[in-house]
Structure 1
Amino acid sequence: MKKYNFLAVILLGITLIGCNGAKKGENSLFTIDDSTFPAHFTSNEAVSIAILNPNSKEIDSIVYFVNDKKVGSTKGAEKFKFELKDQKLGYQYLKATAYFGGDSSDATKRVELVSNVEPKLLKYKIVNKYPHDTKSFTEGLEFYNDTLYENTGQKGSSYLRKYNYKTGKIFKQVNMDSKYFGEGITFINGKLFQLTWQEKTGFIYDAKTLKLEKTFTYDKDIEGWGMTNDGKYIYQTDKTEKIWKMDPATQKMIDYINVYSGESKIKAINELEWINGKIYTNVWQKDAIAVVNPTSGAVEGILNMSGLKKFVKNTDADVLNGIAYNPKTKTIFVTGKYWDTLFEITVSE
């Protein structure tokens, strides 16, 4: 087993997925020849697309599309070669529109593009341990102006809290309406963005006063999980392998990436934190943190955090969740749902 497959097991304990299935609705006049396709493609490969013509139609030309974007054309029934280096990881939908005798017909096929990056197994060192409220079902954790903020879940007890992480002293708390289940938070452009789980509702606060300024509805029919930003865009998870990219000015989703560790999709990615150009993410119900390339979606590093549980004393402690980077100390703070401890750590290869 390759090393990156072993590391994927740390994240998910998953089975590997392969698919060259045809897209629904494919007609029988022409088909894309997949006889030489591998189980998966990687970004350093090219796909050579040819169509099968069982009825021997005289083809004038073929126009080729990848994910409904035109990528080229050929005369007659010539093969077309398409480089995959600029495609996002995940399923790619191929389409060949063949023109013949004043008519046209489509042939389609789905292939999967997986990561060729071998994740590094990272290690951590505990720098400090601080008290954490065992009633806090941690969802979002983030520093703003050297002060720690935490958003928690559970209907009827979700809140946003600003507090002294060294002592646990609460500076300010905003309780959410009982109909909402709180999720991720992030600070950008002087605003605090806050998600809810299945209510498809987000909130925007003034970062200094925590005064509510706007309520918005999700642009997509998704759940709200984790949140972070790169200073320009917000990144948001939804329980799948996707990380959505949001324009904070409009709250519209403008793109997404799929997270893969080698050949394996990493689903249920949760809390997010932007650290030195990478996205650190919890994986729900796993004692691991994945370090993700925000452009490609490839997992580049994995932190096995299972060793932290031995320091957590309360018996009702739930899963690892919550990542906050303090740029002042250049350290990372992690905790879990109902944990009694907040850990300050450093990370290295």
Structure 2
Amino acid sequence: MKCNRSSLAVAVLVSVLGAGACSGPEEPGPPRWRVEVIGSSPHDPQAFTQGLEVIDGVRYESTGMWGVSTARATDQRTGTETARVALPGRVFGEGMTRAGAIVWQLTWQDGFAIARDPVTLAETGRAGYQGEGWGLCAQPQRLVMSDGTGTLTFRDPVTFAQTGSVTLSGYRDPKPNELDCAEDGTVYANNYPTDEILRIDPETGRILAVIDAGGLLTPAERAGTDVLNGIAHLPGTDRFLLTGKYWPRMFEVRFVGE
């Protein structure tokens, strides 16, 4: 209904009833995309995957859970694991990314990130932060971090100091978990605890697309697993790796717009 003189009385009545007669149409949500599976490979079903990334032919993976958290490096071409280190004590591992000569690994509620050597994964330093650590990925001049809220935080790739933040918009209650910084400048995030992946413009926080990644595992494979978690863009391609916590398989996929 248009808000002209002839409709004024009706508009007032409907307004009193709380219908918002003269408000504009609701803004449409982001487009829905789907996953096209290219292939799959075995994945460690004991790995509570928290971070996943492929860079310079190395697949980096962080796993969580108290007492068994690890950082891992694997040759992406051969599938041969080249390094693995355990986190100390009851530290709970979270997202992980490589920024130049540093691999950064988050901890969940322990309040610090671990700097690691990119070849051996040996610890080379630590940096503190406030709040929880969830997902982490690297853009050319900054790190992007999630913390269980609808806000992404930007950090210096060398010092880990906070340099800014952005609040997500355009979709109901986003909860970004594991992150991947793609070559086109967008950020992909597992939307915890769903099978959705959010495609995000990190400059504005706008959610550009929602990707349905449900149904990758068979019902038998899904038994005993946890949520989808782990996104890694394969550099120079339009493909990504996807896996989850305790998943027995890792998938190579494309994201396809409708």
Distance 1:259 1:116 in 2: 16
- Greater Cα radius of gyration, structure 1 or 2: 1
Distance 1:143 1:286 in 2: 23
The TM-score with structure 2 as length reference comes to 0.84
- The answer to whether 1:238 aligns with 2:116 is no
Distance 1:120 1:256 in 2: 24
1:83-109 deviation digits (Å, cap 9, x = unpaired): xxxxxxxxxxxxxxxxxxxxxxxxxxx
Match of 1:252 in 2: 161
Equivalent of 1:272 in 173, 176, 179:
179
Contact 1:128/1:345 (CA < 8 Å) preserved in 2?
A: yes
Number of residue pairs the alignment of both structures matches: 232
Query: Where in structure 2 are the equivalents of 1:1-349 lying within 5 Å?
Result: 118-164=29-75, 168-218=79-129, 221-262=130-171, 264-266=172-174, 268-275=175-182, 276-310=184-218, 313=221, 315-349=223-257
Match of 2:15 in 1: none
| Secondary structure in 1 matching 2:223 | coil
1:265 CA displacement: 3.5
Letter of the 1:182 counterpart: G
Uncovered stretches (5+) of structure 2, i.e. residues with no partner? 1-19, 21-25
- Which deviates more, 151-160 or 325-334? 325-334
| Secondary structure in 1 matching 2:216 | helix
Distance 1:295 1:328 in 2: 23
After superposition, the Cα gap between the structure-2 partners of 1:306 and 1:174, relative to the gap in structure 1 and judged at 3 Å, is: same
Identity of aligned residues (%): 30
Give the superposed CA RMSD: 2.0
1:19-45 deviation digits (Å, cap 9, x = unpaired): xxxxxxxxxxxxxxxxxxxx9xxxxxx
| Secondary structure in 2 matching 1:150 | strand
Contact 2:57/2:76 (CA < 8 Å) preserved in 1?
A: no
Contact 1:312/1:340 (CA < 8 Å) preserved in 2?
A: no
1:164 CA displacement: 4.1
After superposition, the Cα gap between the structure-2 partners of 1:230 and 1:190, relative to the gap in structure 1 and judged at 3 Å, is: same
Letter of the 2:142 counterpart: Y
1:284 CA displacement: 1.2
1:250 CA displacement: 2.5
Uncovered stretches (5+) of structure 1, i.e. residues with no partner? 1-38, 40-114
| Secondary structure in 2 matching 1:309 | coil
Q: Which has the higher contact order (CA 8 A, sep 6+)?
A: 2
Letter of the 2:214 counterpart: S
The TM-score with structure 1 as length reference comes to 0.63
Contact 2:186/2:200 (CA < 8 Å) preserved in 1?
A: yes
Contact 2:93/2:108 (CA < 8 Å) preserved in 1?
A: yes
After superposition, the Cα gap between the structure-2 partners of 1:145 and 1:226, relative to the gap in structure 1 and judged at 3 Å, is: same
Letter of the 1:236 counterpart: M
